[in-house]
Amino acid sequence: MYNTDMPSRNALPSSAQLIRSTIIAAIVALLLLATVVMPAEYALDPTGAGRLLGLTEMGEIKEQLAEEAAADEAAQMVTVQPSSEESAPESAAPASETAAAPEPDAAPKAEEPAPAPVAEPEWQDEVRVVLTPGEGTEFKLTMEEGAVARFSWVSEGGPINYDTHGDGSGQSISYEKGRGVSEDEGELEAAFTGNHGWFFRNRNDDDITLVLRTDGDYGELKKAM
């Protein structure tokens, strides 16, 4: 029977080598945490590398989905108590009250001119997408700092959750968020040069159709997801 030879003392790593290997492993783990894990999971990007790798936006979407899920769970736990007050029926007008008869000698009123038809706004881009229950989508405008774009969107078939935000040049911003909104319109001014737009999610039990129209000072309208 042959027993494996025990390694000599010279073949074993010294204490200094073990400490150095431990320090190197700790530094590598911290770099991965700061450049990959934190941006991708928590939208925290202390080094800016996560934004360059596209991981920070992934983390922002994960954080937003977590907030939506928590808000939906909280909303389901709230029980709405019906109001015990019932609106009183409108009382009938007294029989003695009658409409005043027009004066026989009153001159006929001149016909007012019909209002001029309002011209429908012209849009530079229009997209239409169907979202199934739980499905999300994102559209971005490439814009320079200070540029202004007009927008109008409507959710056909049910309300929708949205987040108007932007990213680029190592920065990110959330302009506005909404839950259970059927439509919105206005102007979007870019806080910095980059991509600015909307993330939509269908929280209904049925499909909805989202229609987004844009116009103004921007390069292109692109679908991010």
For 12-53, how does the pLDDT look when each residue is reduced to its tens digit (9 = 90+)? 777 888 898 899 988 988 888 888 778 777 778 788 777 777
CB-based contact 211:173 (threshold 8 Å) = no
How far, in whole angstroms, is CA 39 from its chain's centroid?
Answer: 18
Kindly report the CATH number assigned to the domain that includes residue 178: 2.60.120.680
Amino acid at 55: L
Q: What is the pLDDT of residue 124?
A: 94
**Is residue 99, in this structure, part of any structural domain at all?**
no
CA distance 162 to 183: 10
The segments of the chain whose pLDDT lies below 50 read 79-81, 83-85, 87-89, 91-99
**Is residue 109, in this structure, part of any structural domain at all?**
no
**Is residue 191, in this structure, part of any structural domain at all?**
yes
**Is residue 115, in this structure, part of any structural domain at all?**
no
**Is residue 217, in this structure, part of any structural domain at all?**
yes
**Is residue 3, in this structure, part of any structural domain at all?**
no
Q: Are residues 135 and 61 in the same domain?
A: no
Q: What is the pLDDT of residue 6?
A: 65
Q: What is the pLDDT of residue 8?
A: 63
**Is residue 195, in this structure, part of any structural domain at all?**
yes
CA distance 201 to 32: 31
The residue from 31, 51, 74 where one domain ends is 74
Domain that holds residue 29: 14-74
Q: What is the pLDDT of residue 106?
A: 53
Our count of domains for the chain comes to 2
CA distance 107 to 144: 62
